[in-house]
Amino acid sequence: MARDGLLISWENQTPLLHPPIPLLLRTIRKVKEDLVMTAVIIAPKWPDQYWYTELLEITELMITLGQSEQVLIPGERQFRFLLEDYGLKQAVVQRIVEAWHEQWRVHFSALSIVVKYLEENNQQWKELQTLEQPSVLKANFIQDQMGKGASDNSLKSCRGALAVFFSFKGYKEEQAHSKLIAQQMKPVQMRTRHKDREIVQWDLNILLEQIIKEQVELLRSNLSIEETMTITLTLCMIFTVARLAELLRATLINETEKEITLETVILNKPSRIIELKIKKALDQRICQCAGGKHGIIIETKTSILQLATFGIHPN
């Protein structure tokens, strides 16, 4: 039966503790409150953290374990060995690992599934070095996982990990990201792209009517600047391919009393530069934002969309 260790008494106990970072302070104070005579706490040496001072207060002996190394799981072992066999030095492979951070674990978890698949089909992982058509192996593997009921997220992780692996092994872009795999994964992409109440909407007039309908309710409430900004950014993302990160890193190009011009780079292929213009609008349906009436005009080389903060209005 599972028990919350922080809710039971540690008095007269010798706890061996390796808490997650967010629980370190609670763990340290629990040791102090229960008057624990001896405890072993495994924690990083981060002097700038708020909990570190309290940790030193109860510390009688500190042992430095040095830099810990992640245990080589099957996916990681094959990845390292194959890249080193390809000619990359250990330092280069390690730099790749460090650059990936958390994504590193996701890739290895997925590659471990690939290793298991190869073993089930009496194949050696070294055969991955000499594949004439890596997309065929990738397609067969994905189909096998679909047949076993793998989740959509697992399928996407495996596809991404294999693509990264093949690209590091020197396979061409069209081999690592083939149209065959894209077509095979299309149902998965569609299922994971639209969440909850999101639906595909091709008729923008219907979307316009819905926005205008919801606009009335929004105008009745006093929205904060943060809420207004959220709605504005959401509209920008709906009617362009700009992602939130691309909007947030936009650069101020020009500012006048009537117009503010921002510029950002769309990283999705084909990559391009777009301008976001915030202009004064005379349309009375546009809500007041930061003390004035504003609309948003999004300009690209192929189209111009004029948006209101809570709606769309034609020129």
Q: Which residue has the higher pLDDT, 85 or 134?
A: 134
Model pLDDT, residue 69: 47
Percentage of the chain modeled with pLDDT above 90: 0
Q: Which residue has the higher pLDDT, 314 or 44?
A: 44
Residue 109 · residue 162 · CB < 8 Å: no
Residue 272 · residue 265 · CB < 8 Å: yes
Give the pTM: 0.36
- Cα–Cα distance for residue pair 183/302, rounded to 1 Å: 27
Does residue 31 carry a pLDDT above 80?
yes
Average pLDDT, the chain: 71
Domain ranges (residues) in the chain: 5-58, 74-193, 204-308
- pLDDT, one tens digit per residue, over 196-211 is 444 555 566 776 677 7
Among the listed residues 100, 307, 81, 67, the one whose alpha carbon sits nearest the alpha carbon of residue 207:
307
Strand residues in the chain grouped as ranges (E) = 16-17, 40-41, 251-255, 259-266, 272-280, 288-289, 292-299, 304-308
Residue 251 · residue 263 · CB < 8 Å: yes
Q: Torsions phi, psi of 260, nearest 5?
A: -120, 130
- pLDDT, one tens digit per residue, over 136-164 is 888 888 899 888 888 888 888 888 878 87
Residue 70 to residues 73, 112, 196, Cα–Cα distance (Å) = 9, 15, 37
Best mean pLDDT range from 83-87, 98-102, 119-123, 299-303: 119-123
Residue 146 · residue 155 · CB < 8 Å: yes
Taking residues 115-135, what's their average pLDDT? Answer: 78
Residue 131 — pLDDT band, cuts 50, 70, 90?
Answer: confident
Q: Which residue has the higher pLDDT, 110 or 54?
A: 54
Fold of 74-193: DNA polymerase; domain 1 (1.10.150)
Model pLDDT, residue 311: 36
